[in-house]
């Protein structure tokens, strides 16, 4: 079961993907994780990626497609995957079609006000990359990671001004994917306006959409 997750930055795709991955026992593949791994490793590709991410801009298709294709070819993806953050453009969607079939597309939708609140409150661990939130998922000790004791910080792409730019870029360049997948009959819209304590209401919508795939 190959599933694509769509939705604007901060809508919660990563969190939902983690839950779905464990529930259905297929891996979550995040383009964002692939980007940050490349940045942490300070590779030549990582340095290129860092410039785009820090400005809240989309990484060029040629770089993204290469990273994702290599990851999806690994053995753990043979039985399926949840793809978070890719594709983001029609060009990327067409490239994906050439090396992997898409069975379902879950499109998570939340208000802009909710998204800005979620992203501006996020804090990331400098050591292990774990993500916390000052409102929804605060660390036990302020500024300190529960998992490894590393320092928590606000990423440069999660300040209010950069968030607004990311949302603008999303609406201009990524939203056409919704129509693309709707025409293919693969799209399922998921209401993601629920808080962290009500996350089961989001997952139940996903389960209903994925049941259609498993029964087909």
C-beta of residue 67 within 8 angstroms of C-beta of residue 36? no
Q: pTM for the complete prediction?
A: 0.77
Can you give the pLDDT at residue 216?
A: 67
Closest CA to 105 of 27, 11, 180: 180
Catalytic residues: 13, 88, 122, 155, 166
Q: Right CATH number for 2-196 from 3.10.20.340, 3.40.640.10, 1.10.10.10, 3.40.50.300? A: 3.40.50.300
C-beta of residue 163 within 8 angstroms of C-beta of residue 119? yes
Retrieve residue 67's tokens: 């990273």
Residue-by-residue pLDDT tens, the chain, 216 positions: 999 999 888 888 888 999 999 999 999 998 878 888 878 888 787 888 888 878 878 788 888 898 899 889 989 999 999 998 889 888 899 999 999 999 999 999 998 888 888 888 889 999 998 989 888 889 999 999 999 999 999 988 888 888 888 888 888 877 889 999 999 999 999 999 988 789 999 999 999 999 988 776
Can you give the pLDDT at residue 169?
A: 84
C-beta of residue 190 within 8 angstroms of C-beta of residue 107? yes
Closest CA to 31 of 90, 92, 78: 92
Can you give the pLDDT at residue 180?
A: 92
Can you give the pLDDT at residue 100?
A: 93
Domain coordinates of the chain in residue numbers? 2-196
């Amino acid at each position: 079961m190959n599933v694509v997750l769509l939705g604007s930055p901060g809508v919660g795709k990563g969190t939902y993907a983690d839950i779905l991955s464990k529930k259905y026992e297929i891996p979550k593949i995040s383009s964002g994780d692939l980007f940050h791994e490349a940045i942490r490793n300070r590779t030549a590709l990582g340095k290129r990626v860092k410039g785009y991410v820090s400005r809240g801009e989309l990484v060029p298709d040629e770089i993204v497609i290469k990273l994702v294709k290599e990851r999806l070819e690994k053995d753990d993806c043979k039985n399926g995957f949840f793809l978070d953050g890719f594709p983001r453009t029609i060009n990327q969607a067409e490239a994906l079609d050439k090396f992997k079939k898409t069975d379902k597309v879950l499109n998570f939708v939340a208000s802009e006000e909710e998204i800005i609140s979620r992203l501006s409150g996020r804090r990331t661990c400098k050591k292990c990359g774990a993500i916390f939130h000052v409102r929804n998922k605060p660390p036990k000790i302020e500024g300190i990671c529960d998992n490894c004791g590393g320092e928590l910080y606000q990423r440069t792409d999660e300040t209010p001004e950069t968030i607004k730019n990311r949302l603008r870029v999303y609406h201009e360049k990524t939203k056409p994917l919704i129509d693309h997948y709707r025409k293919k009959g693969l799209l399922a819209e998921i209401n993601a306006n629920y808080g962290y304590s009500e996350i089961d209401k989001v997952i139940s919508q996903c389960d209903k959409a994925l049941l259609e795939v498993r029964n087909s």
